């Protein structure tokens, strides 16, 4: 009997070991019956995503991609969160001008600040790019990186969208949150590659999207190392360092990641070069455009000054890239919508 127990125990241990190995090797998403993309309607877009992921994660398949190379890049404004009536960083900029105005009496008469403080942003922006840069530098530079991170964190914790009344961090697309999680569960690293300021995004992207600071690529201003009373700080200088938009996106990707993504997600012509760069690599590739077609639940636009998608849509169609019709493909747009 004692001998039997030893035999049984040995058998059980071997069985368990085998089962454990199977469990560890199995794909957590595939082995689960639950739909990893519940906010996506069944259709060609969802099908294309799932087929691509299945293909590149299937060991032994000719299209298998090792985990180290499973890099997916996402635009932010209009791709992961909304960008209407204007990119959310612009709201931050306006709020900062108002908050800083008491320390700058000269802004009451100096443009573009004066018009802005009088509640006329259109007049403020009449100065074009120069006005925008002036506003950006007055609000984004002159402090240390730690101070700026705190300013952003404080603002994003309470700032609300003027139309929906929801926090800006709630104005994120539920289907894209699911897509990010689905890709990560399949061994992808998910990067943001945005025209927005890199240090405007980093304080909250991990909490909101699950994307850590080192996987955020964005536009930047120059930094300067200084010792202040023996304490090292990085000071944000009023000088543009890098514009991570359009042809800047593949440059930002190469500078920071140093390898070519295999999947790219965007919504505008500003993402086109990132798509082209991603698509031109060898092996399986996936490019997806979010097309804003839902005027009711979100906004419908593709010929806009910001977020315009003309060349991109044309190229997507001619190259067979996936185009998400937001109205038809998304069961739910925002997390706060009722299911």
- What residue ranges bind its own copies (CB under 8 A)? 4-5, 8-9, 12-13, 16-17, 20, 68, 145, 198-199, 202, 212-214, 216, 220, 223-225, 227, 231-232, 234, 241, 247-248, 250-251, 254-259, 273, 276-277, 280
What is the sign of the dihedral through the CA atoms of 274, 280, 281 and 285? positive
Helices and strands (H, E) in the chain, number of each type: 14, 8
CB of 236 to its own copies, least distance (A): 10
CB of 216 to its own copies, least distance (A): 6
* Pairwise CA distance, residues 32 & 55, whole Å: 18
Is-contact 221 240, C-beta < 8 A?
yes
> In which residue are the tokens 């001008």 written?
97
Burial grade of 23 (CB within 10 A; 0-12, 13-18, 19 or more): exposed
CB of 257 to its own copies, least distance (A): 5
Cβ distance to its own copies smaller for residue 164 or 256: 256
> In which residue are the tokens 């945005």 written?
194
CB of 251 to its own copies, least distance (A): 5
Cβ distance to its own copies smaller for residue 12 or 157: 12
Cβ distance to its own copies smaller for residue 8 or 157: 8
Cβ distance to its own copies smaller for residue 222 or 297: 222
Tokens of 83: 């960008």
How many residues would you count in the chain? 339
Q: Are strands 300-301 and 286-293 parallel, antiparallel or unpaired?
A: antiparallel
Cβ distance to its own copies smaller for residue 128 or 258: 258
CB of 29 to its own copies, least distance (A): 20
């Amino acid at each position: 009997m004692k001998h039997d127990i030893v035999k049984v125990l040995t058998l059980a241990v071997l069985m368990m070991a085998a089962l454990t190995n199977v469990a560890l090797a199995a794909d957590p998403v595939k082995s689960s019956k639950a739909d990893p993309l519940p906010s996506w309607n069944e259709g060609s877009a969802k099908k294309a995503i799932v087929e691509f992921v299945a293909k590149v994660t299937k060991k032994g398949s000719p299209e298998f991609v090792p985990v180290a190379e499973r890099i997916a890049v996402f635009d932010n404004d209009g791709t992961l969160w909304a960008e209407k009536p204007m990119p959310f960083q612009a709201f931050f900029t306006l709020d900062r001008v108002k908050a800083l105005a008491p320390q700058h009496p000269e802004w009451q008469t100096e443009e573009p600040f004066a018009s802005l403080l009088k509640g006329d942003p259109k007049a403020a922006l009449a100065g074009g790019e120069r006005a925008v840069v002036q506003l950006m530098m007055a609000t984004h530079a002159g402090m240390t990186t730690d101070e700026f991170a705190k300013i952003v964190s404080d603002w994003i914790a309470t700032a609300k969208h003027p139309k929906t009344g929801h926090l800006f961090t709630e104005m994120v697309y539920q289907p894209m949150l699911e897509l990010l999680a689905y890709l990560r569960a399949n061994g992808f690293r998910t990067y943001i590659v945005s025209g927005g300021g890199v240090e405007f995004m980093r304080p909250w992207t991990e909490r909101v999207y699950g994307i850590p600071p080192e996987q955020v690529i964005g536009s930047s201003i120059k930094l300067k190392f200084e010792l202040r009373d023996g304490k090292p700080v990085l000071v944000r200088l009023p000088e543009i360092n890098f514009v991570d938009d359009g042809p800047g996106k593949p440059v930002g990707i190469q500078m920071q990641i140093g390898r070519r993504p295999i999947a790219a997600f965007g919504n505008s012509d500003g993402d086109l070069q990132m798509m082209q760069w991603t698509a031109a690599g060898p092996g399986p590739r996936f490019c997806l455009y979010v097309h804003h077609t839902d005027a009711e639940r979100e906004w419908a636009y593709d010929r806009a000054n910001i977020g315009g998608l003309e060349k991109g849509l044309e190229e997507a169609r001619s190259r067979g890239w996936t185009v998400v019709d937001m109205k038809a493909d998304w069961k739910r747009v925002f997390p706060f919508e009722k299911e």
